[in-house]
Every structure is written in structure tokens, then in C-alpha cells.
Amino acid sequence: MTSASLVLDPAFRIAAVNRRIFGSFVEHMGRCVYTGIYEPGHATADEDGFRKDVLELTREIGVSLVRYPGGNFVSGYRWEDGVGPREDRPRRLDLAWHSIETNQFGLAEFDRWCAKTGVEPMMALNLGTRGVQEALDLQEYANHPGGTTLSDLRGQHGAETPYGIKLWCLGNEMDGPWQVGHKTAVEYGRLAAETARAMRMIEPDLELVACGSSSRAMPTFGAWERDVLRECYPFVDHISAHAYYNDEEGDTASFLASAVDMDRFIDAVVATADHVAAELKTDKKITISFDEWNVWYGDRSRRTDGPGDQWEVAPRRIEDEYNVTDAVVVGNLLISLLRHSDRVGVACIAQLANVIAPIMTEPDGAAWRQTTFYPFAITSRLAAGQVLRLELESPLISTAKYGEVPTVDAVATYDEESGELAVFLVNRSIDGPVEVTVDTSRTPVTGVREAVGIHDDDRDASNTAAHPDRVTPKPNDSLRLDGSTVTITLPATSWTALSLTTR
């Protein structure tokens, strides 16, 4: 058996755990909204038409923030269509996903859903087919207390209290030729600056996200971030990053090392942002809104049809069925995000329900947890206090995409107030277990609250409607506590979380 070691020291801190890293994403795409979070005719539906089973799972997974309503969808969206009496709302063509949008779920419904789940809203603006004035109109409708046409209209629609949305995305993936209203970096950067400047005239304390690259593989990556930020740096707080990973052509070793790519992506965007800051001679630091990330298979989706010639309401789109390997990768991507807590201000797993999601549903049927649900839920529950800077020694493993990478990856958090220490580990090897020795001499461990992980003899095992609990977290009985040393064996292709006490 190979071995690895890591040293924990509470004095070496990266940053406080940022709860916004545990965000998610609800887009009007496929069945994420309709028959996902919203299904008035469902047996569990509440008075607002929200599926209570999905509400409960959303609370359980520990989502802190939700980005809405897109995504590609937002670049053709008219926010006015989703307010007021439902019977008066128009049906529209959604060009992004070749669907019919009924607008039965809109801004008011999203606000009520956020209140019931306890999540912070993150609102995306249409800067594809619309511009500054439409953004200001939505801001006035949503956030102004009253006494104006649009804020009073909100009151007439039943919401006298402002929605109070503080976090806004200035468009979505405007670097992508697939985007309705696609722009060059300079064109978009100027529009983002104009929109941000105007919005701050109403509310100076807003947090605003500029569009970064939709993928590290985009030919404009790096140059896009530089040119956009040169235009709008003084007016924004975050720049977005999007990344999706899958087991391409059976290259499982590279897939399991996907977090290496995320690390490099984050480091590159930070370097670019800091370069622009140096050019502008400002001490202000831009952080990253990694507001789309996940595993995504274009060819392994469950009952996913191409657009064809039909325009349908809530057709099935990219309903990936996730296995154990996918869950291990998701757990490792969370490790990467936590490790960069000093520069990642927001992160959203995409999406929440049905569409490449940790939560699956069937119309008029059950809801269940995908394998990827568990590392997210456990990490969200256990990570607290400060993210620690670790000293990790691990054997290396060869990958076609990333070269030699550590077999074991890890991050830890320490909550000084409660004395709780959480360690998150992943074994990227498909061949065998790794024994990990954790030196806790600088934070003596007095007990073990929990040692649990995701692994299975069948790496392809998944959860389905027929077998919703085929894959669930398993206790790791190999853990040994010996004075200032914690030793644990990580099975092949596994993600593990430890909850330790220091008092």
C-alpha cells in the first residue's frame, strides 16, 4: 500500500470559510424549474407550487446561495414576463435551449422560494439582447422601497417589501459565440462598466460580477479577462469563471485530476486580474465568482433529446446520471474551491435540480439524491472557521492531460471557537488504497466525530428512481487516533471527510 502524509497547523491560514462557495444555480433550462423545484400539481406541492421534497433536499445539501435565471437563458430573457398575475404572463420562445418558456415561475416566485430554502439570491441580468436601461428597470422593481412606477408596480403585484437583491451578474458567458448577443471583450467590458456605474447610482453597495471566460479552453481565455477588466475594473467586485469536466474517451486518470485544472484556472484568472490592478495602480482586489462548475457529459445524459424541430415546455435536457467516480471528482473540486477561499468569492454548482444536478425528480413522482449530492452536503455541513494551508506529501500519478499529479489531495478547516477540525481528502488512484498520516501535533486531536466517504467496488454505480440509495456515504472504519497522529486508509477512487475535535 502506498502512503501519504500531511501536516496541519492552525497558525497557517488561507482565509475564513466562505459560505458563498456552497452556492448553486437555477436556470430556466430543461426541467430545472418546471417539474424540478416548481410543480404545482405534485403531491408535495405547497401553496406556491414548490415541491416540498425538493425544498427539503435543498436545505439538506446546504446550498447557501442560488444564481438565477441563467445561464444562456438570461441573454434573451425579458424579466417583465415573469411578474404579475400568472394568467397574464406571455409564452415565449427560448432561443438558448430551443424551448417554450411559460413564465409561470418568475422573480416573485424565486424570491419566495429563496425565503423558504434560506438561500441568498444571485440575480443575472440580460446584457445580450438588452442593456443599461432594462437592468435599471429590474433593479428599481426589485429593490427600490416605493414611490416610483416600477417599485409601486411590485407592490401591486403583492410584494410591498423590496426583494433586496445585493449580488448581480452582469450578463452570462458573453465570450461565447453561442450566446444571444455575443460581444467582443471590449464591447462587453464597456457595457458592463456602463451598467455597473448606473446601478451604483441607485445602490452604491451592490456586488457586481463581470463575465469572465466560459471555459479555460476558450481561444480568448486570459485576453478576455484582461480586456474586460481594463474597461470595468473600478465598477465590479468579481469576475466569473465556468468549468465542466467529464471522463473523456475513458481517460479516467485525467478526469480524477480535474481539480488540477480548476486550480490552474483560478490561479490564471487571479494573475490576470492582479496584472490589470497593477496597470490601473489600484489596491482593490477582484475575486472570482466560479458560478458554474460541475461534471457534465454531453453523451451520457438520461433521456436527453436534441432540439430537433419541436419547441416544448420543459423538455429533458442534459439529465446526467452520476456515478461514484463523478462524486469523487465533485468532492475534489470542492477541495480546490476551499483551497482558494482567499480569492474565490462565490461558487455555484450547476445546476440544482435535474439538469446536471445533485437532485433528481420525476414529474408527479419521486425526488432523490445523486451520488454528487453527498460530498457537497457533507462539505457544506462540516467546513467552518478558517481554511488551513497544508503541507502535503503524496505519491504521484501519471495523467495524459496534466502530467504527474499528487495521488492524494486534501484541504482542512479549523473552527477555533468550537475546536472542530475538518479534513477533506481524495484518493485519485483507480488502482489501490492509500494510507494517509495526518500530523495534528500543532492542534492535538481529542476525538473523532465522523469519518465518512464515497467509494464503491463498482466505480460506475449510480442512484436512480428505482434504486435511489444504491450509493450513500460509508463510514471509514480504518481511522486510528494515536496521540498527535491520525491515520486513515483511503480506498481507491474515493472522497473522504473527517470531523475531529480538539478539546
Q: Are 113 and 50 in contact (CB under 8 A)?
A: yes
Average the pLDDT over 4-20 and give the result. 97
Check residue 390 and report its DSSP letter: P
- Cα 352 versus chain centre, distance: 9
- Percent of the chain whose predicted confidence (pLDDT) is above 90: 95
> pTM higher than 0.95, yes or no?
yes
Parallel, antiparallel or unpaired: strands 386-388 and 408-415: antiparallel
Q: Are 20 and 345 in contact (CB under 8 A)?
A: yes
Average the pLDDT over 165-194 and give the result. 97
Map grid coordinates 465518512 to a residue.
452
Confidence of residue 305 (pLDDT cuts 50, 70, 90): very low
pLDDT in tens, 175-187: 999 999 999 999 9
> Residue 62: what pLDDT?
98
Confidence of residue 304 (pLDDT cuts 50, 70, 90): very low
Catalytic residue status for 173: yes
> Residue 299: what pLDDT?
52
> Residue 302: what pLDDT?
46
Q: What is the DSSP string of 80-142?
A: GGGSS-GGGPPPEEETTTTEEE--SS-HHHHHHHHHHHT-EEEEEP--SS--HHHHHHHHHHH
> Residue 307: what pLDDT?
53
Average the pLDDT over 13-25 and give the result. 98
Residue 357 β-bridge partners: none
Does residue 377 have a pLDDT over 80? yes
> Residue 249: what pLDDT?
85
Q: Whole-number mean pLDDT of the chain? A: 96
Does residue 503 have a pLDDT over 90? no
Does residue 400 have a pLDDT over 90? yes
Report residue 258 as a C-alpha cell: 480535474
Average the pLDDT over 191-210 and give the result. 98
Cα angle: 481, vertex 434, 489; to 5 degrees: 30
Does residue 301 have a pLDDT over 50? no
List the one residue out of 420, 325, 426, 337 whose CA is nearest residue 6.
426
Map grid coordinates 414611490 to a residue.
147
Check residue 491 and report its DSSP letter: P
SS3 188: helix
pLDDT in tens, 344-360: 999 999 999 999 999 99
109, 231, 292, 420: the catalytic one is 292
- b/e map of 282-315 (b: 16 or more CB within 10 Å)? eeeebbbbbbbbbbbbeebbeebeeeeeeeeebb
pLDDT in tens, 432-475: 999 999 999 998 899 999 999 999 999 999 999 999 999 999 99
> Residue 303: what pLDDT?
40
Report residue 76 as a C-alpha cell: 434573451
> Residue 308: what pLDDT?
57
Catalytic residue status for 292: yes
Q: Find the Cα–Cα–Cα–Cα dihedral 219, 123, 134, 210, rounded to 10°.
A: -30
Q: CA 270, CA 274: separation in Å to the nearest integer?
A: 6
173, 231, 319, 420: the catalytic one is 173
Average the pLDDT over 182-209 and give the result. 98
Check residue 29 and report its DSSP letter: S
> Residue 444: what pLDDT?
86
> Residue 63: what pLDDT?
98
pLDDT in tens, 243-282: 999 998 889 999 999 999 999 999 999 999 999 999 999 9
Name the phi and psi angles at 264, rounded to 5: -65, -40
> Residue 96: what pLDDT?
94
Which residues are CB-neighbours of 365 under 8 A, at least 6 positions away? Answer: 465
Q: Are 218 and 224 in contact (CB under 8 A)?
A: yes
pLDDT in tens, 48-64: 999 999 999 999 999 99
Q: Are 93 and 146 in contact (CB under 8 A)?
A: no
